[in-house]
Amino acid sequence: MVMTQFIRLTPDQQSRQGAVWNRVPCYLRDWEMQVHFKIHGQGKKNLNGDGFALWYTKDRMQTGPVFGSKDNFLGLGVFVDTYPNEEKQQEAQKRRYTPGNQRVFPYISAMVNNGSLSYDHDRDGRPTELGGCTAMVRNLDHDTFLVIRYVKRRLTVMIDIDGKHEWRDCVDIPGVRLPRGYYFGTSSVTGDLSDNHDIISLKLYQLTVERTPEEEKWDREVFLPVVDNMKLPGLDAPLEPMSGLALFLIVFFSLVAAVFAVVIGVIIYNKWQEQSRKHFY
C-alpha cells in the first residue's frame, strides 16, 4: 500500500505480504543503505509477526517463504524478526530453553547466501546467522532507523531505535564478498500473527573509500556471494558449466586417442602385411 508518507508492506492483518524492489541493479563498490521504518500493531508482546527483511540479491520480485521473498537466494538478507518461532515451538513441546542460548526478540540478524542455503524459519534463521542483536522496535513513538554499511568487504548493521539519534552496533562481519549488479529490496509477511510493517524511507549512499594497491589486489570481483573463513555449503561442489566442460574434454581427448590408436594400428598392420608378403615371395 503506497501512502504519501510511507509504504505499508503489510497491514496489521493475517496472511498478508508485500515488497518493494529497486528496478536498477547496484554497481557501487562501497555503499550504505539507511532505512527509516515503523513496526506497529495491536498484538501484545510476542503475539505479533513476522517482521521484515532487507535484501541485496540477484533476483528481484520473487515471492517466497523468507519474509515474503524467495528462499535459496543469492546475496544478502538482513532480517528484523519480531516473532520467536523457535522459542514458541520449544515452549509448546514443554522443553526448557537453554539459558545463554536465548535470543531476545525482536531480533535483527544477517545472512549471506550463495543459493545453496535455506532459511530455517522454524529456528528464526539460527543455523545460517552471521551475527545479530536484539532490537525492541515495536510500537515506539519515536523514529526507528537501521543502516547497512558495506565498505571494503566489511558488512556492518547499526540501529538507531532509542530516539537518541545514536547508532548502535548490531552486526559487524569482515570478509563478506558480494557481487555487484544485485538489487535492493525489502519485503514482509504476516501469518497467524500480524503487524503494520511500514517503510518510511530507503536511502542508498555511495561511499568513497581509498584503497591501497594491496587492498585493491585482495579486493577482487566475485561472481558468487562468499564469506571469508566461513564455509557456505555447496561451494566445493564443481560448478555445472565446469563439469560439462570437463566431460567434453575427456570425451574429446578419448576420441583423439582412439583415432590415433586406429591409425597407428592400420600402419603397423600394413607394414606387417608388406613384410610377410616379401617373406612369401
Residue at grid coordinates 543503505: 33
How far apart CA 36 and CA 145 sit, in angstroms, is: 5
Piece in contact with Ca ion (CB under 5 A), picked from 61-69, 88-96, 120-128, 163-171: 120-128
Radius of gyration of the chain (CA): 28
Residue at grid coordinates 563478506: 176
Piece in contact with Ca ion (CB under 5 A), picked from 123-131, 136-144, 156-164, 256-264: 123-131
Interface with Ca ion includes 124 (CB under 5 A)?
Answer: yes
Interface with Ca ion includes 81 (CB under 5 A)?
Answer: yes
Scan residues 4-43 and list those touching Ca ion (CB under 5 A).
none
Instruction: Say how many residues touch Ca ion, by CB under 5 A.
Output: 4
Interface with Ca ion includes 156 (CB under 5 A)?
Answer: no
Piece in contact with Ca ion (CB under 5 A), picked from 31-39, 84-92, 170-178, 229-237: 84-92
Least Å distance, CB 45 to Ca ion, is 14
Least Å distance, CB 132 to Ca ion, is 12
Cis peptide before 106 (omega within 30 of 0): yes
Q: How many CB atoms lie within 10 A of CB 44?
A: 8
| Coil, strand or helix at 265 | helix
Short-list 102, 115, 70, CA closest to 232: 115
User: Residue 237: is it exposed, middle or buried by C-beta count within 10 angstroms (0-12/13-18/19+)?
Assistant: exposed
Q: From the list 83, 119, 183, 184, which residue makes contact with Ca ion (rule: CB under 5 A)?
A: 83
Interface with Ca ion includes 150 (CB under 5 A)?
Answer: no
Piece in contact with Ca ion (CB under 5 A), picked from 81-89, 149-157, 159-167, 206-214: 81-89
Dihedral angle sign, alpha carbons of residues 246, 252, 256, 262: positive
How far apart CA 236 and CA 231 sit, in angstroms, is: 9
Select 12 or 124, whichever has its Cβ closest to Ca ion: 124
Q: From the list 57, 85, 144, 194, which residue makes contact with Ca ion (rule: CB under 5 A)?
A: 85
Piece in contact with Ca ion (CB under 5 A), picked from 3-11, 116-124, 159-167, 172-180: 116-124
Interface with Ca ion includes 194 (CB under 5 A)?
Answer: no
Say how many residues make up the chain.
281
Q: Which residues bind Ca ion (CB under 5 A)?
A: 81, 83, 85, 124
